[in-house]
Chain A
Amino acid sequence: MDNPIIRVRQLTKKYGDFTAVDQLDLDIETGEIFGLLGPNGAGKSTTILMLLGLSEPTSGEIEVCDTDPVRSPIAVKRLVGYLPDNIGFYEGWTALENLVLTAQLNGISYTEAKQRSLSLLEKVSLQDVANKKVGKFSRGMRQRLGLADSLIKDPKVLILDEPTLGLDPMGVKDFTSLILRLSREEKLTVLLSSHQLYQVQQICDRVGLFIKGKLVADGPIQNLATHLFQDKPRHIQLKVHQTDTQRARDILEAMQDVKTIEQQNDQFYIDADEIIVHHLAKKLVEHDINITQLQQRTYGIEDIYAHYFEGGSTNDAK
């Protein structure tokens, strides 16, 4: 299959004056795990609801499994499993009953629904509490039950909205590895949204950064950092032996590529345009300066996080 399984073109959703999703273009290939990352209110959930045909786009085109969810939402909903953030179950019903209901709504007969529910409950290791009321479930159990619920229709695409929200670190690890395992086993395409970058980066083949309704960047997470920060100056940290500080400073000031130098006793923080670390090291060695530490700071996931998720809004305001 050459066609991407999810194809979004120029998708826009407006609530009055507020633009929740702004001319979004997105392609997701069959079988990949795509992470839609972005801070709260970036329009992730809105996008997901539109993919499912549960919300109508203001303009733009969507195709999920070669079907338009605006025109034939039912066909799409048949193929797409959806785990909303904060999934709700009928509290007074047992886990099994809740799953059987969903299965039956997908047109599966009672006996088959029950069979399928039990095997899925086993997959998410809830088989021991199958006949317990959901009202007594913990957050992690609910989330796993939700995963079983979205898998019961045997979907081609699985859409998970903030699946790790409110889980403890161990729970997140368990849950993400469960998603990874299931998606590899069933050859599922998974689209998951999250604002918790650290927690989902391990399992995503590709991520898209979603800020204020726009896709800022997408690609494998390692490429993302280089792509996002290619225009930024390089930071270099240098620490020399105390006796050599003055000489080191002279050398640094003499170098052309160096833009700014900040000094704290024997520590230097250098901003430079090009990569000059090896160049600098060579020079320092030539001048017989004792280097205790020389480090070029690379931009990684932490910086994406700091830049877009924590300070994202203030950056945009400038």
Chain B
Amino acid sequence: MMLNKNNNLYAFSILVKKEIADHIRSWKFIILLAIILLTCIASLYTSLQELKNTAPAPNDPDAAFFFLKIFTTSDGTMPSFHLFVGFLGPLLGICLGFDAVNSEFNGRTLGRILSQPIHRDYFLNAKFIGALIVIGTLFVSLILLTIGAATLLVGFPPTFMECNRLFLFTLLTIVYVAFWLNLSILFSVRFKHTATSALVAIAIWLFFTVFYPIIINIVAKAVQPNPYASEAEIMHYQHFMLTLMRFAPSQLYSDGTNMLLMPSIRSLGPLHMEQLQGAIPSPLPIWESIKVAWSQMVALIACTIVCFAASYYFFMRKEIRC
């Protein structure tokens, strides 16, 4: 029985290896990798330029977090690193997942793999784990390289607190890309043609990045309270708008990264004057920052798991027959 278990693990690792090899050899991944690398280098370069020219003001509570600022600062010409990742990350996830199952189905390799002595779910799990390893390696090395380059440039290492926050930021980014990956894997299980699943996934991504904000604006105009409305009404309106915005996964991600990369942020929603009174403008400890954006992070993880569960369910019931 022990041997059996080892055999299974061995077969699974073979499948994962095959996935990783497929990804890093594929042109779509190489092209997207080049785009991401170029944009990230550009944005990091501009932010380092900006930080070099304008030393942080002494009263800036984030001044102590130089390494976090690299990822959020921009001189206005280029969006900052975390905005870029928020924009291109989904594309990366979609690119790695949209043809995961249906291309193997159409190429009739699915039947061949599944007629080997492996559990059926190994196939799907390997698809997910393989792509996740690729994504994880990409972002971990990207962020480590950035920190390394910045350390060389400024001459002092990041603090422990910064490392913690950057680690969580990396984790959150991976989860965010994994969400899009799982969504596109789900479509690849459901749709027979790779083009359909790619287009549907990209349509959803476009909807949330371009059209959803427009719709939100329209709704905002419609429900906007009178400028002389009571404070409670205005608060209620703002909470309502924030709730609407958080249906977009990109909003969840940017809420989370903002909290992690800008320790001075105290709340993601509106605050009363009374709440701010007497507050010292100092950075929050990491745990407090996490608490503020906790629900957003959990929502993102939950979305990822739901997508994976759905694709698992559909995959297990799929007829292999062509």
Q: Which of B69-77, B90-98, B106-114, B261-269 contacts A (4 or more CB under 8 A)?
A: B106-114
Partner of A54, one of B10, B22, B108, B320: B320
Interface bracket on A: 20 to 34
Q: Which residues from A are CB-within-8-Å of B116?
A: 77, 102, 105-106, 153
5 interchain residue pairs of minimum CB distance: A88-B108, A107-B7, A105-B116, A88-B109, A78-B117
Knowing A49-B320, A101-B18, say if A88 contacts B112 (CB, 8 Å).
Answer: yes
Q: Which of A89-97, A240-248, A275-283 contacts B (4 or more CB under 8 A)?
A: A89-97
User: Is there a chain A Cβ closer than 8 Å to B25's Cβ?
Assistant: yes
Interface contact B112-A87, CB-CB below 8 Å: yes
User: Is there a chain B Cβ closer than 8 Å to A74's Cβ?
Assistant: yes
Knowing A92-B25, A107-B7, say if A82 contacts B115 (CB, 8 Å).
Answer: yes
Interface residue count on the B side (C-beta < 8 Å): 26
Interface contact B111-A84, CB-CB below 8 Å: yes
Interface contact A104-B112, CB-CB below 8 Å: no
Interface contact B321-A86, CB-CB below 8 Å: no
14 pairs, CB–CB < 8 Å, chain A vs chain B: A54-B111, A54-B115, A55-B321, A74-B119, A77-B116, A82-B115, A87-B108, A87-B112, A91-B107, A101-B14, A105-B11, A105-B118, A107-B10, A149-B112
The residue in chain B whose Cβ has the minimal distance to the Cβ of A20 is B321
Interface contact B7-A77, CB-CB below 8 Å: no
User: Is there a chain B Cβ closer than 8 Å to A164's Cβ?
Assistant: no
Min CB distance B53 to A, Å, is: 48
Min CB distance A114 to B, Å, is: 13
Interface contact B321-A104, CB-CB below 8 Å: no
Q: Which residues from B are CB-within-8-Å of A89?
A: 109, 112
8 additional A-B pairs beyond A82-B115, A90-B107, beta carbons within 8 Å, are A49-B321, A54-B320, A74-B118, A77-B118, A88-B109, A90-B109, A105-B15, A107-B10
User: Is there a chain A Cβ closer than 8 Å to B322's Cβ?
Assistant: yes
- Provide the A92-132 mask, 1 if CB < 8 A to any CB of B, else 0: 10000000011011110000000000000000000000000
User: Is there a chain B Cβ closer than 8 Å to A52's Cβ?
Assistant: yes
Partner of A84, one of B22, B115, B118, B119: B115
Interface contact A77-B111, CB-CB below 8 Å: no
Interface contact B108-A86, CB-CB below 8 Å: yes
Q: Which residues from B are CB-within-8-Å of A86?
A: 108, 322
| Residue positions of A touching B, CB distance < 8 A | 45-46, 49, 52, 54-55, 74-75, 77-78, 80, 82, 84, 86-92, 101-102, 104-107, 149, 153
The CA of A101 and the CA of B14, in the complex, are separated in Å by 8
Interface contact B115-A106, CB-CB below 8 Å: no
Interface contact B14-A105, CB-CB below 8 Å: yes
Q: Which residues from B are CB-within-8-Å of A105?
A: 11, 14-15, 113, 116-118
Q: Which residues from A are CB-within-8-Å of B319?
A: 55
Q: Which residues from A are CB-within-8-Å of B118?
A: 74, 77, 105
Min CB distance B1 to A, Å, is: 12
Q: How many A-B contacts are there with CB distance less than 8 Å?
A: 70
The CA of A78 and the CA of B113, in the complex, are separated in Å by 12
Interface contact A102-B112, CB-CB below 8 Å: yes
The residue in chain B whose Cβ has the minimal distance to the Cβ of A77 is B117
Interface contact A104-B25, CB-CB below 8 Å: no
Which chain B residues in 279-319 approach chain A with CB under 8 Å? 319
Interface contact A104-B108, CB-CB below 8 Å: no
Interface contact A54-B109, CB-CB below 8 Å: no
Residue of A45, A104, A107, A149 with most chain B CB atoms under a 10 A cut-off: A107
Interface contact A104-B109, CB-CB below 8 Å: no
Min CB distance B9 to A, Å, is: 10
Residue of A46, A87, A88 with most chain B CB atoms under a 10 A cut-off: A88
Min CB distance B42 to A, Å, is: 32
Q: Which residues from B are CB-within-8-Å of A49?
A: 320-321
Min CB distance A135 to B, Å, is: 11
The residue in chain B whose Cβ has the minimal distance to the Cβ of A100 is B14
The CA of A55 and the CA of B11, in the complex, are separated in Å by 22
Knowing A55-B319, A104-B11, A105-B11, say if A84 contacts B117 (CB, 8 Å).
Answer: no
Residue of B11, B113, B116, B322 with most chain A CB atoms under a 10 A cut-off: B116
The residue in chain B whose Cβ has the minimal distance to the Cβ of A84 is B111
The residue in chain A whose Cβ has the minimal distance to the Cβ of B317 is A56
Q: Which residues from B are CB-within-8-Å of A46?
A: 321
The CA of A80 and the CA of B115, in the complex, are separated in Å by 9
The CA of A153 and the CA of B116, in the complex, are separated in Å by 9
Q: Which residues from A are CB-within-8-Å of B22?
A: 90
The CA of A105 and the CA of B11, in the complex, are separated in Å by 5
Knowing A45-B321, A74-B119, say if A107 contacts B11 (CB, 8 Å).
Answer: yes
Min CB distance B296 to A, Å, is: 40
Q: Which residues from B are CB-within-8-Å of A102?
A: 112, 116
The residue in chain B whose Cβ has the minimal distance to the Cβ of A90 is B109
Residue of A55, A74, A102 with most chain B CB atoms under a 10 A cut-off: A74
The CA of A87 and the CA of B107, in the complex, are separated in Å by 8
Q: Which residues from B are CB-within-8-Å of A92?
A: 25
Which chain B residues in 29-64 approach chain A with CB under 8 Å? none
The CA of A254 and the CA of B56, in the complex, are separated in Å by 123
The residue in chain B whose Cβ has the minimal distance to the Cβ of A52 is B115
